[in-house]
Structure 1
């Protein structure tokens, strides 16, 4: 168990689970009752869900892992940082924790990872909360992210200059992030070695069929049909330069029965900008999932 960190809004004592490949995943496991699994993206970590965990833990068991290479998990320098590996790791953790039924909350890469797991285990999914994410192929990629994928320049920007995680603390929000919160988001990513997965996630975006993760994402997308009858709550930040309105509409098209709320002035880190409105929506949604 990791000692309590002195980070704003993060009073938790994360636990660790060692995977078969030897890497250890850190995860928050707070509260008791029906399970809510919160899956983060890049370049965030379980800190993203701190307020949601605190609000839900009195009634629910909240599990929020840090992907390998992220947050407080191990950050091996030579590791298969691919979508398929992250899905396998999540599967191993939830099996270890004996999670047989849960509601998923997914954001950013957490959509492909969490719903990749859900497509394999639809019988264990009670519902899904979707926050500015994708779990299907798209040909669009913002220029600023494309630059971070370039050989030589990408590693310099992302790992050397911290030009992905640090800009996210002001580009992914519309409200100014408080310095203590900014410190929390950046805490695990303070040097070249600790930013390895941030770069690998950027490089792992499959933009053509020859990409190593293309077929994995195809399988994730195909698995969504197993979830069409599951309750879904969509909460979307409308000022997201990456996951823009196209993605929101695509989720609504694929899941027409979903409850959808669009927050036009919220950014990519939608929980930072609209958490006061989203948390009650999630609480109400969870009650309906467990009726």
Structure 2
């Protein structure tokens, strides 16, 4: 379990905030002026708010930056009686947003944070101002969604492993020891900057998963895919039209082997045909680790241009 006050040698210097609105102690970073528009940063698997540590200082001068840790990740609790499917995380995020009454939200989504954030948008399109996909899928009821997900799963080493492990029973034992294999898990998904690998960085990502009981979140993401338990939120017609009208931006590391650009960027363009796409060569799945300064500059420029 990660301590609430742990800054990981000053690399995550943000004051911790907690709410029990989702039915457990959910941690979130809350930086910047309270009256400003909100930038809501949503992580995926098996990361936490630490992924956005370089982005927060850049954006919080003019925006209120909220970075929640999903249930079972980071500094949030891991309740043992809860399920950890996609729809559960959407429910939790919705309760956080309503409890804080967040409005004029720019979604910044990575990995599974994409379908979580788009689930929130489907339910509350009036609270969403902009959409930013940073190697984060935006599944929103596209006609060829299943085909693209299937094609990606067949080519992705991570999803190939999940499918195999789900069948042979090794998924939960392996991910239940994530604290010991965090580096191999992160590398399987893909980052290119090996200079990241320090004791502090490994501790920030690995210490959260000290025992199997701490690993329900990461197991849930993977097991939900293997068993078909995840359900993408389906927006109503009015919500779908409202979201498609929002300013949007895609930033994609093209070395991503887990969520491959050829399968997921067409989904983004189908929703937001006029939106710019920035392809980052040599940047992997964890784009915010490989190219944090470039991504921060692109998002800041986008916020200013659409302000």
User: If the length of structure 2 is used for normalisation, what is the TM-score?
Assistant: 0.85
Show the counterpart of 1:199: 219
* 1:191–1:283 Cα change, 3 Å: same
- Using the TM superposition, give the Cα deviation of residue 82 of structure 1 relative to its aligned residue in structure 2, in angstroms: 1.5
Equivalent residue, structure 1, for 2:125 = 122
Given candidates 61, 77, 86, the residue that maps to 2:89 is: 86
Tell me which residue corresponds to 2:232: 217
Partner of 2:285: 268
SS in 2 for 1:217: coil
Give the whole-Å Cα distance in 2 for the aligned partners of 1:260 and 1:278.
Answer: 12
Residue of structure 1 equivalent to 2:7: 5
Q: How many Å apart are 1:195 and its aligned residue?
A: 1.2
**Contact 1:237–1:265 at 8 Å: present in 2 too?**
yes
User: Of residues 28, 52, 55 in structure 2, which corresponds to 1:52?
Assistant: 55
Aligned equivalents of 2:88, 2:180: Cα separation in 1: 25
Alignment CA distance shift 1:110-1:24 (3 Å): same
| Residue 242 (structure 1) aligned to one of 248, 258, 262 | 258
User: How many Å separate the matches in 1 of 2:163 and 2:257?
Assistant: 13
SS in 2 for 1:88: helix
Match of 2:248 in 1: 232
CA apart distance, 1:254: 2.8
Moved more, 165-174 or 8-17: 165-174
What is the CA deviation profile of residues 125-170 of structure 1, one whole-angstrom value per residue up to 9, with x for unaligned ones? 1101101122324224231232343353111111135577432433
Deviations 1:37-75 (A, max 9, x none): 001111010111110012111221100100111111111
CA RMSD of aligned residues (A): 2.2
- What count of residue pairs does the alignment treat as equivalent? 284
Please say if residues 112 and 220 of structure 1, whose CA atoms lie closer than 8 Å, have aligned partners that are also in contact.
no
Q: How does 1:175-190 map to 2 (within 5 A)?
A: 175-176=193-194, 177-179=196-198, 180-190=200-210
Aligned to 1:24: 25
Moved more, 151-160 or 116-125: 151-160
* Separation in structure 2 between the aligned mates of residue 2 and residue 73 of structure 1, nearest angstrom: 9
Q: Cα distance 1:16–1:155, how it changes in 2: closer, same or farther (>3 A)? A: same
Contact map agreement 1:30 1:61 (CA 8 A) in 2? yes
Distance 1:234 1:170 in 2: 23
Match of 2:16 in 1: 14
Question: Partner of 2:268 in structure 1?
Answer: 251
Residue 191 of structure 2, aligned match among 168, 173, 192: 173
CA pair 101-196 structure 1, distance change in 2 beyond 3 A: same
- SS of the residue corresponding to residue 241 of structure 1 reads coil
**Larger RCO: 1 or 2 (CA < 8 Å, sep 6+):** 2
Unaligned runs of 5+ in 1: none
In the alignment, structure 2 segments of 5+ residues that lack a partner are: 140-144, 154-158
Query: How far apart are residue 95 of structure 1 and its match?
Result: 0.9
Q: Does 1:102 align with 2:105?
A: yes
